[in-house]
């Protein structure tokens, strides 16, 4: 039986002669929150962009729900990569209305996702006047419009204050209960430790560790060991 909502096999991406992601094999279980950890520039965003069709892999394979990934699977994937693609002169509802028209969805879904991300009372306030946390939540609402089975979030807590981080943490933790598997990237270990069930640690484009989070484990120590090991191995090869 296939246990993975998404899996990659030796996923690789090159830009010219530079290999940014090398032979990455992820295993993301159904109904889990998977945290992809790594230093800045480790290849996290590039990996997520390949999973969402924004970049084409140089080699390797992506499996979605047990079958080879195709662009048709994007109908079941929601994503927030980098900053939310918002119209700053429109309200939260209007931003979602534009997206729902493109997706051919009923207006009732707009009200549903606004309720999920707690933005239903923003009225006529323009998105350009939103706080960073509100913009992130609106971006997530846009990613939820199509009833995704898989939600991909790239550094979702970047730029948020402590209250915004806590609100977003609780929101993300609620998604598996609604049948949504989550992949999120971050370089903030403490946040991933509180949100994720499983982690992968990527450094210099290589996946150095993957497994469940052990409550008794020192995640910072594990992270540093993995990053240093990958770098030493790469230097030895070079």
pLDDT in tens, 143-169: 999 999 999 999 888 878 888 888 889
The pLDDT, as a whole number, for residue 236 is 67
- The model's pLDDT over 67-83, given as tens digits with 9 standing for 90+, comes to 999 999 999 999 998 88
Q: Burial of 209 by CB count in 10 Å (0-12 exposed, 13-18 middle, 19+ buried)? A: middle
Torsion of the alpha carbons at 134, 183, 46 and 127, rounded to the nearest 10:
-10
- The model's pLDDT over 172-217, given as tens digits with 9 standing for 90+, comes to 999 999 999 999 998 888 889 889 999 999 999 999 999 998 888 8
Unique residue bearing structure tokens 């009200």: 111
Please provide the average confidence, as pLDDT, over all residues in the chain.
Answer: 91
User: Where do the domains of the chain lie?
Assistant: 4-237
Report the 10 Å Cβ neighbour count for 61: 13
Unique residue bearing structure tokens 């096999």: 9
Cα–Cα nearest to 73, from 63, 81, 82: 63
The CATH T-level fold of domain 4-237 is: Rossmann fold (3.40.50)
């Amino acid at each position: 039986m296939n246990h993975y909502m998404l899996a990659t096999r030796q996923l690789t991406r090159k830009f010219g002669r530079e290999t940014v992601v090398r032979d990455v094999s992820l295993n993301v279980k159904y109904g889990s929150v998977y945290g992809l950890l790594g230093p800045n520039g480790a290849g996290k965003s590039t990996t997520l962009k390949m999973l969402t069709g924004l970049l084409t892999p140089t080699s390797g394979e992506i499996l979605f729900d047990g079958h080879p990934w195709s662009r048709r699977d994007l109908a079941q994937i929601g994503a927030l990569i980098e900053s939310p693609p918002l119209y700053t002169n429109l309200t939260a509802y209007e931003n979602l209305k534009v997206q729902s028209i493109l997706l051919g969805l009923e207006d009732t879904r707009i009200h549903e996702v606004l309720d999920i991300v707690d933005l239903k009372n923003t009225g006529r306030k323009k998105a350009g006047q939103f706080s960073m946390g509100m913009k992130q939540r609106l971006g997530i609402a846009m990613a939820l419009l199509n009833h995704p089975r898989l939600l991909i979030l790239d550094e979702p807590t970047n730029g948020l204050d402590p209250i915004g981080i806590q609100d977003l943490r609780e929101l993300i933790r609620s998604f598996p209960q609604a049948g949504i598997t989550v992949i999120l990237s971050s370089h903030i270990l403490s946040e991933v430790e509180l949100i994720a069930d499983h982690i992968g640690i990527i450094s210099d484009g290589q996946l150095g560790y993957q497994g469940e989070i052990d409550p008794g484990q020192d995640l910072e120590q594990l992270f540093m060991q993995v990053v240093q090991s990958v770098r030493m191995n790469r230097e030895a090869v070079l």
